[in-house]
């Protein structure tokens, strides 16, 4: 029997465009003998549109076009979808960032009692908030760089105090990030007070809460894919080599000149440590389905966890699918595994 798969993409998020690219790639890769695919587009304003077809170029976000205007639906009309078919449809939220990767959509799908790919409510929201995530990682004993965090209201009341705290507790350089985002949107490196002030301002444009982290100089960036529910498995390691100061939005999606090295060249002990830490991180946020865990490896061999992404970049050229391809799980099979994991988790709850 064919599985009905609804691809939820776009989204009211600064990572909207990235999601379009992913949805096209997944549509193209799906085996039409096994899946009936329905695209569900969420506009940048948050309106839900049931479209007929997705077309465009997967390679470049800039070239993407949405050809089909589709029909507007209320999000809760997804339950109608449910009645159209005997087999329970599976929802694949190909959404990154707030309003998609953060547990909000997942909560709605729980209420509708529909199986969906990827992380549940708790893991999604804990993984989206870099401060909460770091607190859970600390509890699990995972090594991390020093950090402080601020609310916009605190900063507005006394910005000098905030900057002093950063300088006293961390020192330069630091990375300033919106607490709830991804794709490096709103992230800046600051090497002095002036840069710090402008980095705060930009990060607060995206979130009411920001995190400021001790900046590592010259560290290698190592990533790993984790796949599964109660017994997660790890992929081989990948390394990102940004040709710029850091792996920013442009380097990720526009310039295309960041090198990805898979498998990453690390010694056996480092590989084992990364795997062990990635599983700990997965469990620390109670993840299911998938995560991509990102690490820093300093030149003296120290390993720090940076973050996990509960819905990592998912085009065939993205790190997570490439890691699994090198581990022996090709892109179409990866999608099928994720759909199966979604069904398993759903069945277990019934």
* Residues 107, 328 contacting (CB under 8 angstroms): no
Give Cα 348 distance to the centre of its chain.
25
* Residues 319, 325 contacting (CB under 8 angstroms): no
Candidates 164-172, 197-205, 241-249, 323-331: pick the segment binding ligand ATP (CB under 6 A).
241-249
Element (H, E) at 348: helix 331-349
What would the two tokens of residue 152 be?
Answer: 């916009």
Binding to ligand ATP (CB under 6 A) within 139-168 occurs at 145
Cβ nearer to ligand ATP, comparing 81 with 211:
211
> In the set 175, 200, 320, 324, which binds ligand ATP (CB under 6 A)?
175
> In the set 247, 282, 320, 331, which binds ligand ATP (CB under 6 A)?
247
Candidates 84-92, 110-118, 208-216, 278-286: pick the segment binding ligand ATP (CB under 6 A).
208-216
> In the set 102, 129, 213, 336, which binds ligand ATP (CB under 6 A)?
213
308 closest CA partner among 136, 105, 115: 136
Residue recorded with tokens 């205007």 = 69
> In the set 4, 104, 258, 309, which binds Mg ion (CB under 5 A)?
309
DSSP 3-state assignment of 260? Answer: strand
> In the set 187, 222, 284, 322, which binds ligand ATP (CB under 6 A)?
187
Radius of gyration of the chain (CA): 20
What would the two tokens of residue 290 be?
Answer: 């998938």
Candidates 27-35, 212-220, 292-300, 337-345: pick the segment binding Mg ion (CB under 5 A).
292-300
182 binds Mg ion (CB under 5 A): yes
Shortest spacing between CB 87 and Mg ion, in angstroms: 31
Candidates 39-47, 51-59, 84-92, 214-222: pick the segment binding ligand ATP (CB under 6 A).
214-222
Rounded to a whole number of angstroms, the distance between the first and last alpha carbons of the chain is: 21
> In the set 98, 103, 120, 182, which binds ligand ATP (CB under 6 A)?
182
Element (H, E) at 292: strand 289-297
96 closest CA partner among 169, 195, 162, 21: 21
How many residues bind ligand ATP (CB under 6 A)? The answer is 20
Shortest spacing between CB 292 and Mg ion, in angstroms: 8
Phi (first) and psi of residue 94, to 5 degrees = -90, 60
Q: What DSSP string runs through 119-166?
A: --HHHHHHHH-HHHHHHHHHHTT-----EEEEEHHHHHH-HHHHHHHH
Cβ nearer to Mg ion, comparing 162 with 287:
287
Q: Give whole-number Cα distances, 280 to 132, 140, 309, in Å.
A: 15, 7, 14
Cβ nearer to ligand ATP, comparing 13 with 183:
183
Shortest spacing between CB 73 and Mg ion, in angstroms: 27
Candidates 2-10, 65-73, 148-156, 179-187: pick the segment binding ligand ATP (CB under 6 A).
179-187
The residues binding ligand ATP (CB under 6 A) are 145, 175, 177, 181-184, 187, 213, 215-216, 219, 221, 242, 246-247, 294, 306-307, 309
């Amino acid at each position: 029997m064919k599985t009905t798969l609804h691809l939820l993409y776009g989204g009211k998020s600064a990572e909207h465009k990235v999601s379009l690219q992913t949805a096209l790639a997944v549509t193209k890769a799906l085996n039409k003998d096994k899946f009936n695919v329905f695209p569900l587009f969420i506009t940048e304003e948050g309106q839900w549109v049931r479209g007929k077809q997705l077309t465009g170029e997967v390679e470049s976000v800039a070239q993407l076009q949405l050809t089909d205007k589709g029909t507007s639906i209320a999000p809760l009309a997804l339950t109608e979808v449910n009645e159209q078919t005997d087999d329970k449809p599976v929802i694949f939220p190909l959404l990154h960032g707030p309003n998609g990767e953060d547990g909000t959509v997942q909560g709605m799908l729980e209420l509708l009692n529909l199986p969906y790919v990827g992380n549940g409510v708790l893991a999604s929201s804990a993984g989206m908030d870099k401060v909460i995530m770091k607190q859970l990682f600390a509890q699990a004993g995972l090594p991390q760089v020093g950090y402080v965090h601020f609310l916009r209201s605190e900063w507005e009341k006394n910005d000098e105090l905030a900057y002093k705290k950063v300088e006293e507790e961390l020192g330069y350089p630091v990375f300033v990030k919106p607490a709830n985002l991804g794709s490096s949107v709103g992230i800046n490196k600051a090497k002095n007070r002036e840069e710090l002030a402008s980095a705060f301002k930009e990060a607060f444009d995206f979130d009411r809460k920001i995190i400021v982290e001790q900046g590592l100089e010259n560290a290698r960036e190592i990533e790993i894919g984790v796949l599964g529910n109660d017994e997660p498995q790890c992929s081989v390691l990948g390394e990102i080599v940004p040709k710029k100061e850091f792996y920013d939005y442009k380097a990720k999606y526009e310039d295309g000149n960041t090198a990805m090295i898979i498998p990453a060249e690390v010694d056996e002990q480092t590989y084992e440590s990364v795997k062990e830490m990635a599983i700990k991180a997965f469990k620390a946020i109670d993840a299911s389905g998938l995560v991509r865990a990102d690490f820093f490896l300093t030149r003296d061999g120290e390993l720090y966890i940076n973050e996990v992404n509960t819905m990592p970049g998912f085009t065939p050229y993205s790190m997570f699918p490439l890691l699994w391809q090198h581990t022996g799980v090709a892109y179409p099979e990866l999608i099928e595994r994720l759909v199966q994991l979604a069904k398993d988790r759903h069945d277990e709850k019934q």
